[in-house]
Amino acid sequence: MTTHVFSDTAVMLGRCVRHVTRSVDTIITVTIMPIAFMLLFVFVFGGAIRTGTDNYANYLMPGILLIAIASGISYTAFRLFNDLQGGIFERLHSMPIARSSVLWGHVLTSLVSNAISVVIIVLAGLLIGFRSSAGVLAWLAVAGILALFTLALTWVAVIAGLSASSTDGATAFSYPIIFLPFVSSAFVPTDTMPGPVRAFAEHQPVTSLVDAIRALLARQPVGDEIWTALAWCVGILVVAYVFAMAAYRRKIA
């Protein structure tokens, strides 16, 4: 039975990945905005921002990667909504396949496509001055955090894709998520913010994620930030997964 689930999921993953490769503009769109932000902040605003570091590109990179992922997961909701509207779910469920594989195909595709976007953005960052002294283990830890963050947000996207009544509704949920890095330590230190804004910035998930990734890339002590970041990701993942599966069962009932 387990082998059956894995093989069905692999087939669904291949189907979704083929859709992405036939529409490469989705990956291009996801990478262009974060790279544009990176260029804008490094070359226009960077000279006026005091972060306590000589290389603002290094300070900026973690937040840019999170923005890219937050933007990329909206396409999961878009593809899922289109499958629902096009009757693809009914056709797939009429076949002898594991029903969970239909969702997991979309979720794993999100991991793959966002990983490609992250690599492209890191390469672009290297061209404009981003540098890291992190070792292999630190980079693997960063990759794990980003993958967990992607997985958590992708299940949020699944809820949106299954519940929306229009294409715009399926993707609109991502806008507040994309905005969160701007009210965090992603672009400026939180101690420069007014009291209420600072309180929010210091107690929302993006700041913990950014601080943990930044410390890993700079080979600095991570402290408790990494556990806070992981707790946020796991908490969001568990809650989103439960609600997504409930929405899925209602759709296929």
Of the listed ranges 17-21, 28-32, 141-145, 228-232, the one predicted with least confidence: 17-21
The average pLDDT across 197-201 equals: 92
Q: Are 13 and 108 a contacting pair, CB within 8 Å?
A: yes
Query: Domains of the chain: which residue ranges?
Result: 2-252
| pLDDT given for residue 175 in this prediction | 84
Collapsing DSSP states into helix, strand and coil, what is residue 52? coil
**Confidence at 237, pLDDT banded by 50, 70, 90:** very high
Query: H/E/C letters for each residue in 176-236?
Result: HHHHHHHHCCCCCCHHHCCHHHHHHHHCCHHHHHHHHHHHHHCCCCCCCHHHHHHHHHHHH
User: Which tens digits make up the pLDDT trace of 115-158?
Assistant: 988 999 999 999 998 998 888 999 999 999 999 999 999 999 99
Find out whether 158 and 240 touch, Cβ atoms under 8 Å.
yes
Query: What per-residue confidence (pLDDT) applies to 1?
Result: 44
- Give the Cα separation of 184 and 200 in Å (integer): 8
Q: Say what the pLDDT of residue 161 is.
A: 87
Give tens-digit pLDDT for 63-114: 999 999 998 888 888 888 887 777 766 676 666 666 677 788 888 888 888 9
Q: pTM of the predicted model, to two decimals?
A: 0.89
Give per-residue burial for 200-235: e unless 16+ CB within 10 Å, then b: ebeeebbbbbbbbbbbbbbeeebeebbebbbebbee
